[in-house]
Amino acid sequence: MHRHRLDAVLVGNAAAALQGAPVTTLDFDFMFRETPGTIRKLKRVAKDLGAVILRPFYPASSLFRLVNDDAGLQLDFMPILHGIRSFESLRSRATPVKFGSVALLVADLQDIVRSKRATNRPRDRAVLGILEATLREKAKTD
């Protein structure tokens, strides 16, 4: 993503785990701004990863899923995230986290909680208590 300058923010349980929440996930979710340019960048990222781009819920959802079954890789990119007003607002509160020489933008834990609350799926409700407890613990140390 960095190489192709794909502007995206890590969200979901992976982002929450990076902030100390004791949660797990099998995929990585990102919010991005959907434009013709970012779609071209997304295609280049997929090519670099040996992945295919699927639109599993189109037209009901604008999700772009990058999958490389051999590597066990699944990256979900979405331009709309329930409970989040815009990509720009999410990005403005995100924190860069270094992975080697590359920084990845990670959504603020409050935004992750807001999104999971708004989505209101059973799997999101199942982790809300854990995420809210993590927020309370972080507030004590800030």
Whole-number pLDDT of residue 23: 96
Whole-number pLDDT of residue 107: 98
Q: Which amino acid is at 64?
A: F
Domain ranges of the chain: 8-141
Mean pLDDT, residues 33-41: 95
Q: Which CATH class is domain 8-141?
A: alpha beta
Q: Rounded distance, CA 117 to CA 124, Å? A: 7
CA end-to-end span of the chain: 31
Region label for 100, one of left (φ > 0), alpha (ψ between -120 and 50) or beta (otherwise): left
- Express each pLDDT in 91-121 by its tens digit: 999 999 998 999 999 999 999 999 999 999 9
- Average per-residue pLDDT for the chain: 94
- Express each pLDDT in 10-20 by its tens digit: 999 999 999 99
pTM of the shown model: 0.93
What does the angle CA 131 – CA 132 – CA 138 come to, to the nearest 5 degrees?
A: 90
CB distance 106 to 9 below 8 Å: yes
- Express each pLDDT in 41-57 by its tens digit: 999 999 999 999 999 77
| CB neighbour list of residue 29: distance below 8 Å, 6 or more residues apart | 10, 11, 12, 13, 14, 15, 75, 76, 78
Question: What tokens appear for 27 in the block?
Answer: 């995929």
Judged against a pLDDT cut of 80, whether residue 142 lies above it is answered with no
Q: Rg of the chain's alpha carbons, rounded to an integer? A: 15
Mean pLDDT, residues 116-137: 95
In three-state form (DSSP H/G/I as H, E/B as E, the rest C), the secondary structure along 74-122 is: EEEEECCCCCCCCHHHHHHHCEEEEECCEEEEECCHHHHHHHHHHHCCH
